[in-house]
Structure 1
């Protein structure tokens, strides 16, 4: 499987998963809240905090604003109109720079999803390690090419996309010479039903495209993203909040600090526990054999010169001498000393 580098971090299937705390718009337009979230994500063990970069004019048309569209799949707390929310949650160029500087000072990666070519240019100027393309833009081919042309790694979410659309997006990046691609299996419902998640798509995408495959998670809790690691997910993107009751689009389906810490810690444990496909016995287990396995013992007092039969033998702990599966090499042999009931039998007891 191919691997991709985010600065000096190798991203690949079945490696320690890269954890992105997706702050998105959960800062609610409050930069001080954003900074608190960054510090909390860092403390929980996240590798990266990710935001979303748009302006009120770069993402949504006038007609959509007039329709006052609602972008929610469950009961989320809203305020005012769609335009008021989009305007409040949009980050200015100066705020992008302030957040990026704050992340640098606190040694956590800053990233964001651009929603226009201008925002991609801003993020590139800020020195992001990679670009994240939202599921909604997987079929925006010209945009994909423009972002991929910066020749930085591309994380592409695949929510709502057919396999053909995913392949077209990959080819668009490759057409401009960028093969540094990470795909995220994603279900663009907040939250999805369990039967609609299809985590086995992670393995399918690994096989189909020979690329690092991660998981962009919109479920409640920690079990599903952790399960993705067992399938080799190279990256987990999880919405993050300090308070699930805050107003806004995504707080309700986001991980709180305790949940994010579980994901960061346990995902690494799962990754280590997966090991490899070669059957091995660890040094600790080899030592355990001596205590837990059995050795041959005699089950009555026997004299020197006795020829051993199966009826003379049993097997008990510890496993330090003749193992029971070697009894065929013992039966018929002659004792070279007297041996007592329940004594462990040793090879040097035999002629």
Structure 2
């Protein structure tokens, strides 16, 4: 599939999404600083989250003052107070979209309700990202189907059958461009739970572009995913892991994101082909580094070659050493000095 002018295909150079999410902490200057920093790292897109105090969390949940304790950082106040502070206001979407356009980086966001889909339509996002939590939210998936935009679907917490149902719904309702992101919805996950081999499994099961939404610490795991063919990398991003907020500690900082962007492109390019190819550069190096048959001693015309007359040394511009058995018994026609390459015009 394509996002803008970029081809998204397994084992291609990955489309890198800096997931700012709510790391802006409700501060637009901080959000713009993060956009600038992510762009300097080389990302293709910066992504936010589009929810508000009533579109995501039920009143009953607020009344229980639920806290999400799988994040390593302690948070201020009640859940309601945090949501009120961190959610992205409607007008701020347009402000950030305009800012991203001025910086030539894709603006995108995850909608959590139909109203927020409509808001993102007005922002003309290049695709819709569906959070793992909504893989079985068929109302939301159905609402996306007539938008004529690619859909990127995270698969955290989902059984294979649930992924299959979501893909089937999207395809049945006319969505032509779908990508799946392997995802583990723990912040951060234990290494033994990441299961990067699921990327290969999803490639075979669905014949779709498969990416990786990463919640691990650092950059090694997303880079490893590229070697398995992940064509989209989504990684939480912050300018400072010590900032207050939900996701800063598990986010990539600029130094890590720069490595992800640069090295993922290098890895994808280095994957190359299944066909065994010797490059022109290697062909040239063979002339210097391989060996040729040389004489162990001075040989006179009429001498019949034996195994003891020959060895092999650099350069590789003469007769290949695997030809020594074929030269045994041949007659020397010209004088050859010791430690010189034997050529075919020395032989008969």
Moved more, 326-335 or 117-126: 326-335
* Partner residue, 2:343: 346
Q: Within 2, Cα distance between the matches of 1:75 and 1:316?
A: 61
Q: Quick check: 2:71–2:247 contact (8 Å CA) kept in 1?
A: no
Q: Quick check: 2:12–2:268 contact (8 Å CA) kept in 1?
A: yes
* Partner residue, 1:163: 160
How far the C-alpha of 1:148 sits from its partner, in A, is: 2.3
Instruction: State whether structure 2 residue 335 is matched by structure 1 residue 329.
Output: no
Alignment partner of 1:237 out of 230, 234, 238: 234
Q: SS of the counterpart of 1:155?
A: strand
Aligned-CA RMSD value: 0.8
Query: Counterparts in 2 of 1:209-220, with a 5 A limit?
Result: 209-220=206-217
Q: How big is each residue's C-alpha offset from its partner over 1:163-213, in whole Å with a ceiling of 9 and x where there is no partner? A: 000011111111221131000000000000000000000000000000000
Alignment partner of 2:184 out of 187, 209, 216: 187
* Partner residue, 1:60: 57
How far the C-alpha of 1:328 sits from its partner, in A, is: 2.8
Q: SS of the counterpart of 2:122?
A: helix
Q: Within 2, Cα distance between the matches of 1:45 and 1:196?
A: 29
How far the C-alpha of 1:151 sits from its partner, in A, is: 1.6
Instruction: State whether structure 2 residue 200 is matched by structure 1 residue 203.
Output: yes
Alignment partner of 1:299 out of 290, 296, 301: 296
Instruction: State whether structure 2 residue 129 is matched by structure 1 residue 132.
Output: yes
Q: Within 2, Cα distance between the matches of 1:188 and 1:55?
A: 21
Query: Counterparts in 2 of 1:71-82, with a 5 A limit?
Result: 71-82=68-79
* Partner residue, 2:34: 37
Q: Quick check: 1:38–1:49 contact (8 Å CA) kept in 2?
A: yes
How far the C-alpha of 1:329 sits from its partner, in A, is: 2.8
Q: Quick check: 1:29–1:89 contact (8 Å CA) kept in 2?
A: yes
Q: SS of the counterpart of 2:180?
A: strand
Q: Within 1, Cα distance between the matches of 2:122 and 2:23?
A: 24
TM-score of the aligned structures, taking structure 1 as reference length: 0.98
Q: Within 2, Cα distance between the matches of 1:149 and 1:135?
A: 21
Q: How big is each residue's C-alpha offset from its partner over 1:64-114, in whole Å with a ceiling of 9 and x where there is no partner? A: 011111123142131111111111111111100000000000000000000
How far the C-alpha of 1:327 sits from its partner, in A, is: 1.7
How far the C-alpha of 1:330 sits from its partner, in A, is: 1.6
Instruction: State whether structure 2 residue 166 is matched by structure 1 residue 173.
Output: no
Instruction: State whether structure 2 residue 255 is matched by structure 1 residue 258.
Output: yes
How far the C-alpha of 1:52 sits from its partner, in A, is: 0.1
Return 5+ residue gaps in structure 1 as ranges. none
